[in-house]
Amino acid sequence: MNVLKFSARRRLFGAAVLLSLLAAGCASGPVGVSWPDVSFLGDTQQIVLAFNDRVVMVNPENGDGVELRNAEGTVRVDEQGNPRLWDVRGGETPVQFYASPILLDEDTLLIPGYNKLLFEVDIPTARVENPTGTAVGGYIVADFAVGADALYLGLAERNLVALDRSDLSELWVAETEHGVWAQPLLVENRLYFSSLDHNLYAVNTDTGETLWTLDLQGAATSTPVYQDGHLYIGSFARKIFDINADTGVILNEYATENWVWSSPALVDGMLYTADLGGFVYALDTSDGGLSEVWKVQAATRAIRPTPLVSGDTIVVGSRDHHVYWLNRETGEVTDNRELSSEVMGDMLLIEPSDTLDISEPLVVVSTMAQDQLLVAFTLERGERIWDYGW
């Protein structure tokens, strides 16, 4: 276990959420404080979990913490003879982690802290190489967009920064009126990102020059989805937008029942999205529009995560403590599983592979309960396979 200690003043994430939404002109509504951020380690299916003051690695086969090993493959042990696990923590005055780490190179993980610092961690040892951190211009709650030579990072209060990937120096800043709470989308030499200031931005990746902005009529907290010159994104205006990626002109829009927090999933020309009223939508984009195929209220409370779509199945998680399985063709809820807390973070799909000893695909869901931070279910049957907590 590696510990980081800081004397910098902590800010309550829930208060920051509420203040940002009020400043962005949104109506009052229930707001969570924080939730686990779950991602894969690079192109592998190794699970990385960032939550509160810890970043850990979890074995996708069984939900155990990943053991540290030396160059000979022997498990490292502590003074009591217990296996050492891959675990980076804050100290008595801890840094908080709300966003996914990224690979800088095959042996180095870059972890964004909410305290305006970036930490480089040696992957084989889980050792923090720069304990004092590399400063950035603001608090961090959104994931990086990663380019060949640059990293792009939204800041919680306002603005987006581009950093040189080799030394993390600042290349340019794109200014916004309020915070950027979603991962930017990188498409060739353009970067698209949304903001709590109601706008969707397109900027040049080399210079940071703003190419266009579009008013989404409400705060936006998600990453747009791109396909064939179209951008698809939702906002707190209770709408899904189809936007020309070159010009920023709205081509089509679709009214939802409630705020849209998460990114949609686009599969085979069908756009699947969910809102904070518990509704799930299937919209056909193949005819150049946003044609409703079905709309279902699957949950009794908000659905914040992006729907997970695989084969004939859609899986969504809700603040009502349930995970729901839907028929992709009809939207019918075919099954559900109750958990001990709210589901807020995006889900992972774990696929069988030559290096992974599982017999069928698993859906990994995160909750707000510390003793049940991750739960793995089989995709097809919803059988509970393992839990992970601390």
Alpha-carbon distance 22 to 226, whole Å? 29
pLDDT of residue 92: 57
> Has residue 31 got a pLDDT over 60?
no
> Has residue 171 got a pLDDT over 50?
yes
Q: Is 76 helix (H, G, I), strand (E, B) or coil?
A: coil
Say if residues 151 and 165 touch (Cβ distance below 8 Å): yes
> Has residue 349 got a pLDDT over 70?
yes
Q: Residue 370 phi/psi, 5° resolution?
A: -70, -25
> What's the pLDDT band for 7 if we cut at 50, 70, 90?
very low
pLDDT, tens digit (0-9, with 9 covering 90-100), for 140-156: 999 999 999 999 999 99
Say if residues 332 and 326 touch (Cβ distance below 8 Å): yes
pLDDT, tens digit (0-9, with 9 covering 90-100), for 205-244: 999 999 999 999 999 999 999 999 999 999 999 999 999 9
Please report, for residues 2, 108, 282, 316, the alpha-carbon distance to residue 332 in angstroms, rounded to integers and kept in the order given: 46, 44, 12, 12
> Has residue 16 got a pLDDT over 80?
no
pLDDT of residue 71: 84
pLDDT of residue 73: 86
> Has residue 30 got a pLDDT over 70?
no
pLDDT of residue 33: 54
Alpha-carbon distance 47 to 35, whole Å? 16
Please give the model's pTM, rounded to 2 decimal places.
Answer: 0.92
Q: Which residue has the higher pLDDT, 73 or 300?
A: 300
pLDDT of residue 90: 72
Alpha-carbon distance 242 to 265, whole Å? 13
> What is the domain partition of the chain in residue ranges?
1-141
Percent of the chain past pLDDT 90, that is, above it, reads 85
Q: What is the mean pLDDT of residues 160-183?
A: 97
- Among the listed residues 152, 145, 143, 200, the one whose alpha carbon sits nearest the alpha carbon of residue 176: 200
End-to-end CA distance of the chain: 14
Q: Just give the CATH number of 1-141.
A: 2.40.128
pLDDT, tens digit (0-9, with 9 covering 90-100), for 277-298: 999 999 999 999 999 999 999 9
